[in-house]
Amino acid sequence: MKSLVFKKDGLHRLSASYIPERIPNREAHQLEIFNTVIGFLEGRLPLKAMVVNGPSGSGKTVTVKKASEQVLKYCSQRSIKLEYRHLNTRFASSDFTLAQMIALSLMPNIPGRGYGSRELLFTVFDYLEKSGSSFLLVLDDFDSFLSGVRSRFFTDLLKISEEYEDRVKLILILIGIEDVSRKVKDSWATSFFWKIGRSFKPYSAEEISVILKDRVELSFNENSVDDSLVYFIGRLTERFGYGSARYGIELLLASGLNASYEGSSRVVPEHVREAQFRIESIITPEDLKTVFSQDPEVRRLVERLLRVFESCEEPFIGFKTLEEHGVRTRDSNVVEKLKRLHLEGLLDYNPSRREVALIGMPLRLLQQAFD
């Protein structure tokens, strides 16, 4: 059945493998990586291994991929021969399997046996020398690889590249949550690292919203997702997804699928709450009953809030509307209880914007807390 919310190929544009045309709030990072790689390639900078680190979902991988696309275009326009591979080292269990991944990415027909890791690396450099190509090699999740195995891979790779330095340029980009340079034990190798000047930090709700608006435009039919709902997902991502764009996009996708399964033409807050609860249940009806037993006034407050949420389709309820429904938002006792429910994960209480949202569970489960 045709979806009423998603465009054709909309699901693909919400997948982890999709690389968007622009990366909001990471343009400067992309430009720095591009300029640094070109500097290495053209000999204006000493050849180093570039280190890119930051929290999960902070845009490291997609930014490096976009910068690499720029590098490939630059080289194509100038007839510079460059091989480029982006490999996730999470799937490598040893130095040998990582060397094999690299070798097979360049030479698919190379025999799977009869080589050690160093021999495979020498074979890679021989191949590059014969083809007259430089090599841009991105090793993603490299910190996980170094944490999981006793490795001499980086040291071996550097020593072999030094033997070919006049004939083959190897440009390494090492991506990790942790700083890869701190995981390499050989002290002499630390001088080969180049750290970019801009750090990858978790996205704020506002920054996530910009990213999600782009994805909504690419993936959803017109008027299927309101801007207020995008910011709602942004707030959930900032609070529970630790500012991870991946988390926000996954939540947007799951919310859209909920709407699609219902045959709805719009994604509404309840679709988001259902998706959030499935991804990560922050608070349950039983947890809430425990809170109620400790403080009956909280129970009465949530009961009032429930009636407001049931009557409103918007994700955020303004303080004025709450006042109209008997919730005294200026009463210090009520404010303390709203803050507690915020910390419990049931509400998003935002006094600076003078609004409250139900985030911890869908309405159907909140109603169960009163059974």
Cα angle, residue 256 at apex, residues 254 and 262 outer, rounded to 5° = 105
CATH superfamily of domain region 27-195 = P-loop containing nucleotide triphosphate hydrolases (3.40.50.300)
Q: Quick one: CA dihedral 361, 363, 366, 371, positive or negative?
A: negative
The full set of domain ranges for the chain reads 27-195, 203-279, 285-368
Q: Per-residue pLDDT averaged across 51-78, rounded?
A: 96
Nearest-CA neighbor of 165 among 130, 134, 124? Answer: 134
Q: What is the pLDDT of residue 152?
A: 87
- Characterise 223 by phi-psi region: left (phi > 0), alpha (psi -120 to 50), beta (else): left
CA distance 28 to 41: 20
Tokens, residue 246: 């991946």
Q: Is the pLDDT of residue 112 over 70?
A: no
Confidence band, pLDDT 50/70/90 cuts, at residue 187: confident
Residue 316 is which amino acid? Answer: F
pLDDT single digits (tens) 325-335 = 999 999 999 99
Q: Is the pLDDT of residue 5 over 80?
A: yes
Q: What is the CATH number of domain 285-368?
A: 1.10.10
pLDDT single digits (tens) 207-261 = 999 999 999 999 999 999 999 999 999 999 999 999 999 999 999 999 999 999 9
CA distance 157 to 87: 15
Q: What is the pLDDT of residue 1?
A: 58
| Strand 49-53 to 170-176 pairing | parallel
Q: Alpha carbon 239 to chain centroid distance?
A: 14
Assess contact for 222 and 75: CB atoms under 8 A. Answer: no
pLDDT single digits (tens) 66-83 = 999 999 999 999 999 999
pLDDT single digits (tens) 251-262 = 999 999 999 999
Assess contact for 241 and 57: CB atoms under 8 A. Answer: yes
Q: Which fold has domain 203-279?
A: Helicase, Ruva Protein; domain 3 (1.10.8)
**3-state secondary structure (DSSP) of residue 264:** coil
